[in-house]
Structure 1
Amino acid sequence: MKVTGYAYPWDVLEPGFAARARELGVDEVAVALSYHSARAATPWSASRTAVVARHAAFYRPVRPQAWGSLRPSTPDWVSSDDSGGDAVRLLNEAGIPAAAWLVLTHNSRLGYEHPDVVVRNCFGEAYPWALCPSQPAVREYAATLTAEAVAGLELSSVILEACGPLGVVHQHQHEKTDGVWAPAVARLLSICCCGACASSWDRDAEAVRAQLANEVWRLIATGDLGVTADNLPPELTQLLLRVRQDATDELRAAVLATLPPGTRIVLHGALDPWVTGALPGLTPSAPDDVDAVVLFGWAPATGAEAVAAARDALPERVAIASYITAVAAAPVPDIAAYAGELAKAGAAELHLYHLGLAGPGRWSDLGTATAAAHENH
């Protein structure tokens, strides 16, 4: 199995990172060139314990003339205006393949500044963390971001995160919605009802919004936090999903059109078409456009099952990758065995989170996972 380790630019630029990555034996390091807000621990730093990225930012130079109405912010918590490029070049010089890790539609700062281009639920509430793929300005932004991110860099892959819609269930500031919404409610609250989406419904938009809202209230009133099905007419459900998938396809097409021919494309995604977030649901045409699909594998109880289902569903030429973490309150009891299970289920790649966040206390887990992955060809 190929092993890709994820890192932030400041992690890579920390003294000793390249040597640790080489010793770890990862085949590729994915560097975040566009990322959302975060407070990121820095357990390998001798001078600080965390980097506070106060807002979503672009870690390459932001050339004003390159952007349209949506333009990313520059980070003042790094010293270079090209920390992402610096990190990639450092890895290149160390002989370690570097991938571009791009977060596309998750940008709360832009969402607050441009509320007209974000996802809106059936009650008209805006999700500022979620730029809507149906909006032409969002597709232009994602395409420009991709082109500007990869410009002038030697890259082994381009890894696309949030290349699709985000929804109601997504960490936002101090999250106080965990465990509140049943799966069916979360699915309905994640359907975008903005003007751009509604214009593709071919139905009375207010009537559709009211129908969704009434069903949300009905499901909440049942008190059933496990309910997964709703009572919407199947033809409406199919219409709403088609509009979402068409917009996602247009977003991905705009992004991919900016990349040089032959670029290796890795897409974070999920088999369930209704999933929103960092790993959004795959559309029927998505496998035709990519070389690998990364599935969420942080839960060992379901990770291998997800890989097996994807291996059955996707073309053989598309590599299946599993995204696992060594940064968690409860580590995987036997991470080597888990890597073996993923390989047996059909995973060709292991994506490791996270080469900067996993400090000395979890580094051995990363080493064990990498060694086990390389033993499973």
Structure 2
Amino acid sequence: MKASAFVYPWDVNGDPEAPGRIAGLGVRQATLASAYHSTRALTPRHPRHRIVTAEHAAVLYPAGERWQGRALRPYAAGDWAPGDAFGEAAAALADAGLEVHTWVVLAHNSRLGAEHPETSVVNAYGDRYPWAPCIAQPATRTYLVDLAAEAAVRPGAAGTELESLGWYGFAHLHAHDKTGGVGLGDAGQYLMSLCFCGTCRAGYGTGTDADELAAAVRDALEPVWRGAPSGGGWPAVEKLLGAERAAVTRAWREPVARSLQEEAVAAVRGAAPEGFQVLLHADPVWYHVGANAGVDPGGVLGTADGVVVPCTGGAGALVPFAERAGGDSAVLAANLTVVSGMGGSPDTLAADARGAAERGATELRLYHAGLASDANLTSVRTALAELNH
């Protein structure tokens, strides 16, 4: 199977050994960030630094003229990725024989929410989630579609992987996070991720009073706050909220996400050369939110060239996509964490890859070549050599 390693520009730029080291893992591709959220990242082998702090979501290349005069526009990176950091890293990786694809994070942007709070998801209690742009708002959708096209189609890139192309919600790795005191469960996460901004309040429909719906969500969550398990799966949402009200939320949210995915993929293809590959980071459960956006497995494979699916800890999420892919040429990439300190298991990579292939995976994605220790990378090289033998 073709394997690709995720990497940041700051892992490569300033480290002349990095491109060869990544190619030496046995991967054929590097999935290189071109638009990314705020983060604090290790660079354990870089000759100039050990920690990179990306203070806000940014594009890692010079933004184009399309953004001039627009209120919603991407932010330039600071000294963690100055100038055309993506282009510099992409050229170095290509010189090492790697095919470069862009890695584009979309509906996840805390600075956007801080400077334009009206763009954020608002929960049933009136709390804003500044990290989560509401994808139903027309101006936000236009921004995300244009960002997808520009950040995806960079010089030298043969394809793209679009992350967070859908609803974002309550779950968020935040600085000094203190939200784990109550286990919300699958259904509780969904209810806490429902948006009640002005656009969504109107979108729930003329037959539904948004105030009553928000009150029903709060009532449904009361037992959860007291420690009652919320359960998992859509039946648990219906049990908490009531089947009719749950259906109202689904009738609004599912088409909003699907149409945004369709628009963004079309915009990327419109800007890209022929043969440019477009993949989505995806979850086969439509109502899941976050980096791996919930999708309809059959629908997304009719929109994009394939999906990247989280498989660390098990590859079951691949199955719904494989069942809908049939015999076509869709890419089903199993995303496996190879950083042991982040819950990955590089020592079992070969076995995990075989298990993913049995469930339909056609390619591998390895998270993350820049963050992994030397020992982890050694395990990756060994595993890929075994798989490629």
TMscore range, shorter length: over 0.9
Match of 2:213 in 1: 208
Corresponding position: 1:195 with 2:227? no
Match of 2:90 in 1: 88
| Code of the aligned partner of 2:305 | D
Corresponding position: 1:227 with 2:231? yes
* Cα displacement (A) at 1:131: 0.8
Match of 1:217 in 2: 222
SS of residue in 2 equivalent to 1:164: coil
Q: Distance in 2 between matches of 1:62 and 1:305?
A: 39
Q: Distance in 1 between matches of 2:218 and 2:175?
A: 25
* Cα displacement (A) at 1:122: 0.9
Match of 2:145 in 1: 143
Q: Distance in 1 between matches of 2:201 and 2:214?
A: 9
Corresponding position: 1:292 with 2:306? yes
Match of 2:381 in 1: 367
Q: Distance in 1 between matches of 2:17 and 2:167?
A: 37
Corresponding position: 1:250 with 2:259? yes
* Cα displacement (A) at 1:346: 1.4
1:238 to 240, 247, 260: 247
Decide whether the 8 Å contact of 1:56 with 1:109 is kept in 2. Answer: yes
* Cα displacement (A) at 1:98: 0.2
* Cα displacement (A) at 1:34: 0.6
Decide whether the 8 Å contact of 2:331 with 2:362 is kept in 1. Answer: yes
Decide whether the 8 Å contact of 1:33 with 1:100 is kept in 2. Answer: yes
Matches within 5 A, 1:108-147: 108-147=110-149
Decide whether the 8 Å contact of 1:185 with 1:220 is kept in 2. Answer: no
Moved over 4 A (4+): none
Q: Distance in 2 between matches of 1:93 and 1:102?
A: 22
Equivalent residues, number: 371
Matches within 5 A, 1:293-332: 293-299=307-313, 303-317=314-328, 318-329=330-341, 331-332=344-345
Match of 1:271 in 2: 284
Gaps of 5+ in 1: none
Once the two structures are superposed, what CA deviation does each residue of 1:193-244 show, in whole Å capped at 9, x if it has no partner? 21112211112111111111111113323x2246332332223212212311
Match of 2:362 in 1: 348
SS of residue in 1 equivalent to 2:280: strand
Match of 1:172 in 2: 174
Deviating more after overlay: 19-28 vs 282-291? 282-291
* Cα displacement (A) at 1:367: 1.5
SS of residue in 2 equivalent to 1:214: helix
Deviating more after overlay: 73-82 vs 167-176? 73-82
Shift of the 369–291 alpha-carbon distance from structure 1 to 2, 3 Å rule, reads farther
SS of residue in 2 equivalent to 1:305: coil
| Code of the aligned partner of 2:318 | V
Shift of the 296–151 alpha-carbon distance from structure 1 to 2, 3 Å rule, reads closer
> What TM-score do the two structures reach when normalised by structure 2?
0.90
Pick 1 or 2: higher relative contact order, CA cutoff 8 A, min separation 6.
1
SS of residue in 1 equivalent to 2:21: helix
* Cα displacement (A) at 1:37: 0.7
* Cα displacement (A) at 1:154: 2.1
Percent of residue pairs bearing the same amino acid type: 33
